[in-house]
Each structure stands twice: as C-alpha cells, then as structure tokens.
Structure 1
Amino acid sequence: MDGLLEHVWVVLAGFGAGLLTSTVGVASLLSFPVLLAVGLPPVVANVSNTLGLIPAGAGGAVGYRDELKVEPALTVRVIALSAVGGLLGAGLLLALPSSVFEAVVPWLILGTCVLVAAQPRISAALRARHGPGERPVRLRLSPVATVFVVLTGVYGGYFGAGAGVMMIAVLALSLDLDFGVVAGIRTTSLMASNLVAGIVFTLVAEVDWVVVALLALSSVGGGYLGARIARRLPATALRAAVLVAGVVAAVTLLV
C-alpha cells in the first residue's frame, strides 16, 4: 500500500470501524472492503484487519467499564469462551477455503437479526408463561448458550462481519440483562476473539503492519466514542441500529 491518500482512507476506515465495533457490531463491513480497495490481497486484508481492530475493542471496553462491572463473573466467562472460539476461527481461516463460510454467513446474520428483533417478545412470552415472580432471573449461560457463544467467537476469529449482531442475539436471548450491559459484554468478548486470532496470525500469516498500525491508532478512539454514544441510546434505538447494520452486512455479503 503506497500513497498518502490510501493511508488517509485506512485511518478513516479504522475510526469508523471503531464506532461500529462498540455500537452495532459490524466493523469489518466497513474496514475490510477499504483494505481491499487500497490493494491488499483478501487474506492479508482479513488478517491485518483483525489485528488492527483489536484496539477498537479495548477502547469500547473502557467506554463500557460501568456496564462490565454489573456481572463480572459472567463477563469473564463470555470473554474466555470467545477467546477459545477465536483460536478455532483463526485455524479455520488458515485451513479452509473462504467459500465454506461465504455460503452460510449472510443467512446466519439474517437469522440472528430476526432473533434480536424478536427477543423482547420472546422474553415477555416467557415471563407470561411462568407468571409473575415464578421465572428465575437468568444470569448464567446455559449449555446451549455456551455453545453459541463459542461459535460466535469462532466466526469472529475467522472473519467477523456481523459477529457483534450474532453475539447480541445469543446474550440477549439467554440472559436477563440490560441491553447496554449486553452490548458491553459483546464488545469486550469479540475483542478477545480478535486478540487470540491476531496472535495466531502474527505467528503464521502474512501481515501488513503499516495497515495494522493505522487501523489500531484510529480505531481505539472510535471504539471509545462508540461506547459512550451507545450507552446513551435507549435500548430500542440501539436494537434498531443493530438490526439495520446486520441486514446491511448480510445483503452486502450476498451481493
């Protein structure tokens, strides 16, 4: 990658991706196409993008620091599971052709959008079914939710566009937490997935370190600002933004 203009585009993409990391969770939908546009090969772009956006998650975690204190044990568990998934996802990226995921990912994202949209109604129906005070508050991951958290981490380590939407759906459906808390856990856990995958890529894959540095410097500020914006949004508005971003991600990947 040569030229000042290309560097500027990467910096802008990093800042925008940082904003998306902490709000709607589709950061790679913005940054990955920009890296392709400035001339990086797809695998190098994907690897460099994963590494460069790790600081965006760190900035988001700082911005969500109050939300992350609500259920610290649960937060640590989700982060650890996502890290395991990220390790597996990095291995898949290096071992499998991209066509394996390209065929299913758009539909998976659309499915999770439906779950995000339906979650309030599903939760209300469960409360009504059990009656007032009869349904225990869910603050621990079920075995099924645990599997889906790991699978989302796998996808995050493999590519990640829409992984934030998937994680929102899994956590919102399986836990009784404020939507802002869910968003904070989502942002931090996917950062862990990217971090583990990034370590693997650093050891065995080709990386454009100039791109990584530009993305890292610009995305950390975007991640922090995005978290501050998201925590001030009503849950309905944040949910709507997640849905729009998820649909756009799915349609873009299909096209």
Structure 2
Amino acid sequence: MLSLFDAALIGAGAFAAGAVNSVAGGGSFFSFPALLAVGVPPVVANASNSVSLWPGSLSGAWAYQRELRTLARYLLPMALVSLAGGALGGWLLLRTSDGAFAQMIPWLLAFATALFAFSPQLSAALARWRGHRRGAGGRGGWLAQALVSVYGGFFGAGMGILMMASLSIAGHDDVQEVNAIKNLLSALIYTVTVITFVVAGAVSWPHTATMLATATVGGWWGATMARRLPAVWLRRVVIVVALLLTLHYFFKVYGAA
C-alpha cells in the first residue's frame, strides 16, 4: 500500500516526465529516480518506469502514421531488429541483480545525461558525416539499431537520442522521417520490454498505476505549454536535474568507498 507521501512523490515525478517528454525528451530523469527515492528496488523501478511511460511511446508513433506508410518495406527488418534487441535488453535487466544494477545506475545516468546535453552537437557531427554518404539502410544501420534496442530494453533513458543517431548512421537525413521512425521503433522496444517485465512479474503495479495516470496528465499539460515555454530553457532544466541526479548517485554508490 502506497503512503500519501510516496504517491505524491512518484506522481510528481511521472507528471514531470510526461510533460518534458512531450516537449524536449528526458522524462526518465524525473520518474526513475522518484521510484528509487520511495524505496522501489532498482530493477523493479526500471521495469515499472518503462511500463509507466509506454502509452506515451504508442501515441507518439500513432501521430506519425501518415509518414510511416511509405516506409513499410524498410521498417519491417528494422522492426524485427528492434523487437529482438528490446527483448534481449529486458531479459538482461531481469538477469541483473539489484545490487549490480544499483552499481550501474550512476554510469547509465551519466551516459544518458551526456547524450541529452550534447545531442545538438552529435546531430551536427552526424549531419556532416552523412553528407559524404548516400542512401539509407544496410547492415550498418541494422547493427546500430540492434545496439540501441538492447540499451533501450535494459535502461531506456536517452534511447531516443541514441536512435536518432543510429538512423543518421543508416543514412536518413529528413528530420520528420527520422522522428517518425524513431517513435515507431521506440514504441516497439517499449512494447516488447513491457510484455517481458509484466510476464516476469517485475512490475510494481501500485506505483505504476499512479505514474500512468499522472504521466498522461503531464503529457497533455506539457503539450499545451509547449508554445509558451522555449524548448531550449526546458532542455537546460532537464540537463541540470540530470546532472545533479547523476552526481547524487555517484556519491551514494561510491561516496563511502
């Protein structure tokens, strides 16, 4: 049974996650630490967080259905790679002990924070590199997507940024097309990992139900506020929060050493 304080804390974290995901991404920096803060074991917290944010990934994919229709032949092998990679990542998470995963949390957060903070520079570098290549697809793109999918199934934070990079490596240079493919493949990865976590009984449903409700409201609120708040300032807030959380978990895990 959730206490009122715990429900308020994870509800606020999920609300913030839904809001920032609808504008700038990076929502897991709010929702995942909130679950840890109320005492949910790390592996269960990560699984519950994935389930909580899953509906948002589905709605994002649905919004781009028109752009995706013309890419059906290309998307089939990419979808299969994403499903396999997501399932493998979810399986690896379930095979990881809470103690081992707790040791990895600071490094995973640091990696995701760096990805989020330097995503504009990464996109620019990939655009320059992509200028020397033509065409999309191929084994390089499949391999990059497979690695991103495993990471997404295992942890998830920063997956969207990694996937946009992998799609650039595959040769895509239209921003709307990249975003459409990213949303679809992310939804597939979340779907297969959610099924894996639910079947394995790794989800804390009282926490997840609370977060599902507030994340949905947060996503709606974020979308309505997107026109009023410059995305660059929201990105800066997310980066500062992510950096502080990363430092906190490094101190928590290694400070006593």
1:171 equivalent to 2:175? Answer no
Deviates more, 1:103-112 or 1:31-40: 103-112
Does structure 1 retain, via aligned residues, the 8 Å contact 2:42–2:102? no
What is the 5 A alignment of 1:114-153? 114=118, 116-124=120-128, 126-127=130-131, 136=134, 138=135, 140-153=136-149
What is the 5 A alignment of 1:131-210? 136=134, 138=135, 140-210=136-206
- Matched with 2:253 is none
**Cα offset for 1:204?**
1.8
CA distance in 1, matches of 2:137, 2:232: 21
Does structure 2 retain, via aligned residues, the 8 Å contact 1:16–1:222? yes
CA distance in 1, matches of 2:147, 2:243: 18
- Matched with 1:52 is 52
The verdict on how the C-alpha distance between 1:147 and 1:203 changes in structure 2, with shifts beyond 3 A counting, is same
The verdict on how the C-alpha distance between 1:63 and 1:245 changes in structure 2, with shifts beyond 3 A counting, is farther
- Matched with 1:98 is 101
Does structure 2 retain, via aligned residues, the 8 Å contact 1:21–1:164? no
Q: RMSD of the alignment, in Å?
A: 3.6
The verdict on how the C-alpha distance between 1:164 and 1:121 changes in structure 2, with shifts beyond 3 A counting, is closer
Aligned AA for 1:179? V
- Matched with 2:246 is 253
Q: TM-score, normalised by structure 2?
A: 0.74
The verdict on how the C-alpha distance between 1:194 and 1:121 changes in structure 2, with shifts beyond 3 A counting, is closer
**Cα offset for 1:246?**
6.8
Does structure 2 retain, via aligned residues, the 8 Å contact 1:59–1:222? no
**Cα offset for 1:26?**
2.4
1:197-255 superposed Cα distances (whole Å, 9 cap, x missing partner): 1211112233211222222233345456767988x8xxxx9799779857864774354
**Cα offset for 1:23?**
4.3
Q: TM-score, normalised by structure 1?
A: 0.74
In structure 2, the gaps of 5 or more residues are 251-257
- Matched with 2:209 is 213
By relative contact order (CA 8 Å, sep 6+), the higher-ranking structure is 1
1:100-150 superposed Cα distances (whole Å, 9 cap, x missing partner): 7547535654368657514335434653xx6xxxx63x3x32312211211
Aligned AA for 2:101? S
Give the share of equivalent positions with the same residue, in percent. 31
Aligned residue pairs, count: 242
Does structure 2 retain, via aligned residues, the 8 Å contact 1:22–1:57? no
Aligned AA for 2:124? P
Deviates more, 1:147-156 or 1:91-100: 91-100
The verdict on how the C-alpha distance between 1:23 and 1:86 changes in structure 2, with shifts beyond 3 A counting, is farther
Does structure 2 retain, via aligned residues, the 8 Å contact 1:157–1:194? yes
Does structure 1 retain, via aligned residues, the 8 Å contact 2:32–2:49? yes
Does structure 2 retain, via aligned residues, the 8 Å contact 1:22–1:227? yes
CA distance in 1, matches of 2:168, 2:143: 15
Aligned AA for 1:13? G
